Amino acid sequence: MIVTAKRLESINEYYFSQKLREIDALNKQGKNIINLGIGSPDRAPHPDVIKVLQEESAKPNTHAYQNYKGSPVLRNAFANWYQQWYNVSLDAETEILPLIGSKEGIMHICMTYLNEGDGALVPNPGYPTYRSAVQLAGGVCIDYGLNAENNFYPDFEALEKKDLSNIKLMWVNYPQMPTGQPASIKIFEQTIAFGKKHNMLICHDNPYSFILNDEPVSILSIDGAKDIAIELNSLSKSQNMAGWRVGVLCGAGERVNEVLRFKSNMDSGMFLPVQLAAAKALSLGKDWFDEVNSVYKKRRDKVYELLDDLQCNYSTNQSGLFVWAKIPDQYEHGYALSDKVLYEHNVFVTPGGIFGSNGDKYIRISLCATEEKIEEAIKRVSNPEL
């Protein structure tokens, strides 16, 4: 009898992997589900980015294995991008490690730094991959709760009361997913001070800083941050390149080399034309972000209408690709409202509970659908006979 490794015992299939199969089955029954659940940008990258990919892919000398640290062209592009938008100086040679998507980087970090039984602080609610990556690496997840009363920021007084002696790293994510809470310089300063006090690696995941957010911020902009923090970033959201799988890890050269020791045993580098196209994407100016955000703002206004029809409460001070909303008291949890909307109105919204127990009373709606689709969802919810 073949059995799976023990490391999989606490890991379930990713929620959206299961749900997409169910939605596909409902569509085959003729339901025509409107999917407002997943944050996969539905619009194309800039035409110049696609042009670079096409031109470079046609060349005969761009198809070989690549440098494990990524093309110097891409690393320099990331360095310039961080300087321009975050006012953070990075050494392109030593402090930047391109990744095949930042989700890959989450796993690499956990495998690099966690031994069996080591603790890792993970946000509740938070991106589920933090939890699964910690567990796959043999680590133990220690939740730190985020709630509306504290603006979905860490409660450092509460954290100081925990036994932190075995905590090796802390996952942080602002603008926060799923709550949409914007980044805060004050919170970043507190986080860096907390990490230094407890000799704890701070891992900041920063893919949403350009979406519906006027002031992109990096935790590495805090004085002394490189001593204790690393940051993941991604082109998936900001550049409409989710399927291209282009991310980056930034931090002190020592940290980059430590993660590289693991990463270099897991892949053989990224396709060079993708790297060169990504470098082009990183050179785009303010006009690009303004155009992207003008589309998302119109969609968000429509999502507010949908949430009003569902009698949910929400803050309008949110950044990122989603709107996070508290459900009416009549529902036991977000799963109940999500199921009702799916099975009665043929619209899928994400139950907040998949992000942790502190999300049980919430739902999350994606902005990665056209205004027309969101308008149709509003019609279905307000008139289920349509």
Whether residue 135 contacts residue 7, with contact meaning beta carbons closer than 8 Å, is answered with yes
**DSSP 8-state secondary structure symbol assigned to residue 7:** G
Long-range contacts of 139-142 (CB under 8 A, 24+ apart): 139/110, 139/114, 139/115, 139/168, 140/166, 142/167
Whether residue 39 contacts residue 354, with contact meaning beta carbons closer than 8 Å, is answered with no
pLDDT of residue 38: 84
Long-range contacts of 292-295 (CB under 8 A, 24+ apart): 292/43, 292/210, 292/211, 292/238, 292/240, 293/210, 293/211, 293/212, 295/43
Tell me, rounded to whole angstroms, the distance of Cα 241 from its chain centroid: 13
Indicate the pairing of strand 362-366 with strand 96-99: unpaired
Residues of 122-150 as b/e, b for ≥16 C-beta within 10 angstroms?
bbbbbbbbbbbbbbbbebebbbbbbeeee
Helix ranges (H only) for 239-330 are 253-263, 272-282, 286-309
CB atoms within 10 A of CB 187: 18
Give the pTM. 0.94
pLDDT of residue 384: 58
pLDDT of residue 13: 74
Query: Rounded distance, CA 293 to CA 144, Å?
Result: 31
For each of the domains in the chain, give its residue range(s) and CATH number, in order of start.
Answer: 6-44+287-382 (3.90.1150.10), 64-282 (3.40.640.10)
Query: Rounded distance, CA 287 to CA 43, Å?
Result: 16
* Identity of residue 59: K
CB atoms within 10 A of CB 340: 15
Whether residue 225 contacts residue 219, with contact meaning beta carbons closer than 8 Å, is answered with yes
pLDDT of residue 386: 45
Indicate the SS3 state at residue 361.
Answer: coil
pLDDT of residue 20: 82
pLDDT of residue 22: 86
Query: Rounded distance, CA 311 to CA 314, Å?
Result: 10
175: which residues sit within 8 A by CB, 6+ positions away?
Answer: 181, 182, 183, 208, 209, 211, 213, 318, 319, 320
Give backbone dihedrals phi and psi of 87, rounded to 5 degrees, phi first.
55, 40
Query: Rounded distance, CA 81 to CA 99, Å?
Result: 16
pLDDT of residue 11: 79
Torsion, Cα 114 118 124 127, to 10 degrees, reads: 20
Whether residue 363 contacts residue 327, with contact meaning beta carbons closer than 8 Å, is answered with yes
CB-side neighbour CA atoms (13 Å) of 51: 4
What is the residue-level pLDDT of the chain in tens, covering all 386 positions? Answer: 998 888 888 777 777 778 888 888 988 999 999 999 988 899 999 999 999 999 999 999 999 999 999 999 999 999 999 999 999 999 999 999 999 999 999 999 999 999 999 999 999 999 999 999 999 999 999 999 999 999 999 999 999 999 999 999 999 999 999 999 999 999 999 999 999 999 999 999 999 999 999 899 999 999 999 999 999 999 999 999 999 999 999 999 999 999 999 999 999 899 999 999 999 999 999 999 999 999 999 999 999 999 999 999 999 999 999 999 999 999 999 999 999 999 999 999 999 999 999 999 999 999 999 999 999 999 999 875 54
Indicate the pairing of strand 229-234 with strand 247-250: antiparallel
